[in-house]
Amino acid sequence: MRIVQLFIEYASHTLDRPFSYLYKGNKNLGPGFRVLVNFNHRQLVGYVLSVKESNASAEQLEEETGYHLDYLVDVIDDAPLLNEDLISLAKRVSEYYLAPFISVLQSMLPPSLSPRKSSLRAPKIAYDQYLSINHYSEESLTDKQTEILRLIKKERKILKREVGSPSVVEKLLSRGLIKIVKKEKRRLAIPNYEYQKPPLLTADQQKVIDEFNNSSDPVFLLQGVTGSGKTEVYLTLCDEELKKGHSVLFLVPEISLTPMMMEYFIRRFEHQVAILHSELTPAEKYDEYRKIARGEARVVIGARSAIFAPLANIGLIILDEEHVESYKQDSIPFYHAREVAIMRGEMHHSKVLLGSATPSLESRARGKNGVYHLLRLDKRINEQKLPATKIINLADYHNIDRDSYIFSIPLREKLSAVLKARQQAILLINRRGFSTSVSCRNCGYVFRCPTCGIALTFHKSDNMLKCHHCDYVQVMPDTCPKCGSKYLMKTGFGTERIQDEVHRLFPEAKTLRLDSDSAKVRNKIPSIIESFRKKEADILIGTQMIAKGHDFPDVTLVGIVLADIGLSMPSFRSSERVFQLITQAVGRSGRSDKVGQAIIQTYNPMHYAITYGARQDYEGFFNKEMGMRKLQNYPPYYFLTSLTVSGKKEETVISHTYSVVDYLNEHLGDKAIILGPTTPYIARDHLQFLRTVLIKYRDYLAIQNTLKELIEIYAKKSSIDISINIDPYNF
C-alpha cells in the first residue's frame, strides 16, 4: 500500500493544501506525477507531492489519521512532470504571489501536461479540422452564431479550433450551415532561414557587452533608444553563453508581433532554438516543451510563460521590452515574468538582462539606485537621428478644416508627401473598432454591455456591437430598443474609422490594419507585418500593436491620430503608458538611411507625457513622473497589492470589503496605507459585483503574513470570493 499526498486541481485558497489518498496498484508513482482521484463526487486530476510505502491496512491507516482515506482512481503519467528546480521555483512564486500552489503549476506547464482534467483530452490527433460554409443562411440564428458564421464566410476556410466558440460551432454544424474539412496536421513548422553571420559590432555595442561581462552583478537593465541595436547585443551575449555550454532563455512580450526577432534568432542559432508562446497550438506547445525538457533546445524564445521553460543549465535570461505589461499575468497566479526571471536567475546563478527603450519606472529606478546594473545605448546605429516630431493641437482651429475633423491639415500634408515619395507611413490610434459608442439621438439611450455595463463599440466590418472588456457581441440594430427611433448616433473613432478616413482622403493609398480584431485569426498578425515590410501597402493603421519593436526600413512618417486616449484612463500609470506609446511609436520612423518624422495630434499639447514623448526625452519624463509618484505614494516609492472582493449580492460584497479594510487597518497599523473599498472602473464581472482594496507599503515582508492570514479567513466565506494581486497593473 502506498500513501500519496497530492494537490487537487482546483486553484482555490481553501484547497491549497495536500490531501491524502491510498494506492494499491503497481504502476510507477512518485512526486510530480499526475493522478486521477475522486474528490467531492467528481473525478479530478491531482498532482503528487509525496509517496510513502506502508504495511498497514486501509482501516489501520484511517484509524491512525482519523480521516476516511480514498483510493486513487489511476496514475496518469509514467514520469514526473517537473524537475526539482522547477518545483522549487513554483513554491517560491506561489509564496511571493500568495497564489495556490497548483495554480502556479498550471501556469508552468503546457495544456496537455497541466495538472487539470482538461489535459487528459491531450492532442494526439494527426489531422486538423477546418470549417467552411456549407449552406449560408442567417435565418433564426442568435447574434453570437451570426458573428461566427460571418467570420467563417469571410475567412472561407478556418481552423475549427481557432474559432474559439465550440458550442456555437457545434450548433452551426448540426444545422448544416457549415461543414468540417479534414487536413493533415502541421505541427510547429519553423521556417528554414539560412544562417546569417553576425555584423561587426559598433563600439557602443561592444562597450555594453564588455561592461556586462566584466561585472558579476545579477541583474542588468539595458536602456537603449529605439534603433540603437539592442537585438545584436542580445544575440552576441546569447552566442557567448552557448559557447560556454550554457543555455539561454529569451523572452519577448508577444512573438506574433515581432516575427523578425524570431527570424534573427533562428538565423543565428538554427536548430538549437525552441519556441514557446500562447499562439502555438496545444500540440505544438507539447512538442516544443518536450524538446526543451529532453535537452535538445539550448535557446528558448517565448512569451511570458516561457519563463517556466524546463531548460537546464541556464546561463542567461533576457527580457526584451521589459516595460510591456503583458509580462504580468492578469489572472491567478498574477505573476510578473520579470520578477520570476529574477527569482530563477538567483536560483540558477544566471544573469538576468532586461532591455527597453522606455524602461518601466520601477526598473529604471532600480537601475538608478544600483539594484540593477544600468547599461546604456544612447545613439541609434550609424548615428541616425531620432525622428523630428511635431505636436499638433487639435483644439487650435488653424490646424483643422472642413475636409476632415480627424486628420489635421499638417498630418494630411505629410501623408500626401510620403505617398508621393513612395515611402511608408504608420498611423496609430489606440482603439479598435469603428466608433466607440452608439446612442439614440431621440431618447439618449446608450448601447451598453449587459455584463460589464460599459459602452459597446461599433465594428463596421461585420456590423456588430462588441464589448471590449468581455466577449459580448450583438448585431448592430437598425432602431433604438427603447423608443424605436431610427436615428442612432455613432461617436468616437477607432482603427476601422481611421482606415475609412484614409481611403476617403487618399483613394489611391493602399492600407493594412493591425489590431486585436485581426489577431482573432491565428498567424494573421505576422502576415500583415510581413506584407507591410514587403511594401504591399503604403499605410499601416493600428493600435499599440504597431508600436512594438518592428523594424520597417521605409517608414518615414508616424502619425499618432489621438495621443490623449490613454490619459483619461483611471490609473496612476496612465502618463507612463502614454509616454511609452508615443516614444515607441515615434521610434518606428526613420530607422534606415531615410530621415523620419512624426506627427502627434492631441487636445493636451502641454501634457508632460506628450511633450517628453515627442522629444523622446526619457530622462526628462522619468524625473517628472518620479516626482508625481513620490507625491502620491505610488510605485516605485511604494509597493502595491490589491484585493478584490466579488459576489452576487452587492450589499454583501460591500460589507465584507469594509471588514477587510478594518482587518488590515487593525493588523498593519502604520506599516501600510489602506485605500478602499473602491468601486473599480469596471464594477461588474460576469454578473458578480466587485469592490477593491488597495494596500500601499514599503516592505512586503512586513505585511506578507497578515495578507496570508486574511486570505485564509476570507477564502472560507461562501457568499464572496476574494482574490489578491501582488504588484497589480490595473490600477
- Residue ranges in contact with ligand ADP by CB under 6 A: 199-202, 205, 224, 226-232, 381, 551
| Binding positions for Zn ion, 8-37, rule CB under 5 A | none
Which of Zn ion, ligand ADP, none does residue 469 bind (CB under 5 to 8 Å by kind)? Answer: Zn ion
- Residue 594: CB minimum distance to ligand ADP, A: 13
Q: Residue 150 region, left (φ>0) first, then alpha (ψ -120 to 50), else beta?
A: alpha
Q: Closer to ligand ADP at the Cβ: 232 or 727? A: 232
Residue of 132, 451, 531, 574 interacting with Zn ion (CB under 5 A): 451
Which of ligand ADP, Zn ion, none does residue 202 bind (CB under 5 to 8 Å by kind)? Answer: ligand ADP
- Residue 303: CB minimum distance to ligand ADP, A: 17
Grid cell digits, residue 6:
497530492
Q: Closer to ligand ADP at the Cβ: 211 or 650? A: 211
- Residue 589: CB minimum distance to ligand ADP, A: 12
ω into 450 cis (within 30 of 0)? no
Grid cell digits, residue 637:
516609492
Q: Is 44 helix (H, G, I), strand (E, B) or coil?
A: strand
Which of Zn ion, ligand ADP, none does residue 445 bind (CB under 5 to 8 Å by kind)? Answer: Zn ion
Q: Closer to Zn ion at the Cβ: 25 or 450? A: 450
Which of ligand ADP, Zn ion, none does residue 442 bind (CB under 5 to 8 Å by kind)? Answer: Zn ion
- Residue 320: CB minimum distance to ligand ADP, A: 8
Q: What angle do CA 395, 401, 405 make, to 5 degrees?
A: 65
Q: Closer to Zn ion at the Cβ: 126 or 483? A: 483
- Residue 543: CB minimum distance to ligand ADP, A: 20
Part of the chain binding Zn ion (CB under 5 A), chosen from 35-43, 91-99, 134-142, 445-453: 445-453
User: At residue 680, what are phi and psi to the nearest 5 degrees?
Assistant: -70, 165
Which of Zn ion, ligand ADP, none does residue 443 bind (CB under 5 to 8 Å by kind)? Answer: Zn ion
Helix (H) / strand (E) element for 375: namely strand 373-377
Q: Closer to ligand ADP at the Cβ: 459 or 588? A: 588
Grid cell digits, residue 73:
482512481
Residue of 98, 480, 528, 545 interacting with Zn ion (CB under 5 A): 480
Q: Closer to ligand ADP at the Cβ: 76 or 558? A: 558
Q: Is 280 in the site for Zn ion (CB under 5 A)?
A: no
Which of Zn ion, ligand ADP, none does residue 485 bind (CB under 5 to 8 Å by kind)? Answer: Zn ion
Q: Is 447 in the site for Zn ion (CB under 5 A)?
A: no
Cα–Cα distances (Å) from 190 to 104, 128, 297, 579, in that order, read 29, 18, 13, 36
Q: How far apart are CA 676 and CA 136, in angstroms?
A: 53
Which of ligand ADP, Zn ion, none does residue 583 bind (CB under 5 to 8 Å by kind)? Answer: none
SS3 content of the chain, % helix, strand, coil (to 5): 35, 25, 40
User: At residue 627, what are phi and psi to the nearest 5 degrees?
Assistant: -60, -45
| Binding positions for Zn ion, 517-576, rule CB under 5 A | none
* Secondary structure (DSSP) of 659-692: HHHHHHHHHHGGGEEEEEEE--SS-EETTEEEEE
- Residue 345: CB minimum distance to ligand ADP, A: 22
- Residue 473: CB minimum distance to Zn ion, A: 10
Which of ligand ADP, Zn ion, none does residue 227 bind (CB under 5 to 8 Å by kind)? Answer: ligand ADP
Helices (H), 27-123: 58-65, 84-96, 101-108
Q: How far apart are CA 455 and CA 463, in angstroms?
A: 16
ω into 333 cis (within 30 of 0)? yes
User: Are 309 and 276 within 8 A, CB to CB?
Assistant: yes
- Residue 413: CB minimum distance to Zn ion, A: 40
Contacts of 243 (CB under 8 A, 6+ apart): none
Q: Closer to Zn ion at the Cβ: 487 or 700? A: 487
Part of the chain binding Zn ion (CB under 5 A), chosen from 233-241, 292-300, 480-488, 661-669: 480-488
Q: Closer to ligand ADP at the Cβ: 549 or 728? A: 549
Q: Which of 28, 24, 18 is nearest to 57 (CA)?
A: 24
Q: Closer to ligand ADP at the Cβ: 110 or 229? A: 229
- Residue 531: CB minimum distance to ligand ADP, A: 19
Q: Closer to ligand ADP at the Cβ: 423 or 602? A: 423
> How many residues make contact with Zn ion (CB under 5 A)?
15
Q: Residue 573 region, left (φ>0) first, then alpha (ψ -120 to 50), else beta?
A: alpha
- Residue 382: CB minimum distance to ligand ADP, A: 7
- Residue 482: CB minimum distance to ligand ADP, A: 51
Q: How far apart are CA 538 and CA 504, in angstroms?
A: 15
Q: Which of 579, 681, 572, 680 is nearest to 633 (CA)?
A: 572
Q: Closer to Zn ion at the Cβ: 472 or 634? A: 472
Part of the chain binding Zn ion (CB under 5 A), chosen from 311-319, 471-479, 553-561, 669-677: 471-479
Strands (E), 120-185: 127-133, 158-159, 178-184
Part of the chain binding Zn ion (CB under 5 A), chosen from 422-430, 478-486, 536-544, 562-570: 478-486
Q: What angle do CA 242, 526, 497 make, to 5 degrees?
A: 145
Helix (H) / strand (E) element for 503: namely helix 495-505
Which of Zn ion, ligand ADP, none does residue 449 bind (CB under 5 to 8 Å by kind)? Answer: Zn ion
- Residue 321: CB minimum distance to ligand ADP, A: 9
Grid cell digits, residue 654:
460591500
Which of ligand ADP, Zn ion, none does residue 467 bind (CB under 5 to 8 Å by kind)? Answer: Zn ion
Q: What is the CA radius of gyration of the chain?
A: 27
Q: How far apart are CA 354 and CA 317, in angstroms?
A: 8
List 642's β-bridge partners, or say none. 694, 725
Q: Closer to Zn ion at the Cβ: 400 or 440? A: 440
Q: Closer to ligand ADP at the Cβ: 236 or 499? A: 236
Residue of 120, 125, 181, 483 interacting with Zn ion (CB under 5 A): 483
User: Are 565 and 431 within 8 A, CB to CB?
Assistant: yes
Q: Is 482 in the site for Zn ion (CB under 5 A)?
A: yes
Q: Closer to ligand ADP at the Cβ: 573 or 588? A: 588
Q: Closer to Zn ion at the Cβ: 655 or 679? A: 679
ω into 166 cis (within 30 of 0)? no
Contacts to Zn ion by CB under 5 A: 440, 442-443, 445, 449, 451-452, 467, 469-470, 472, 480, 482-483, 485
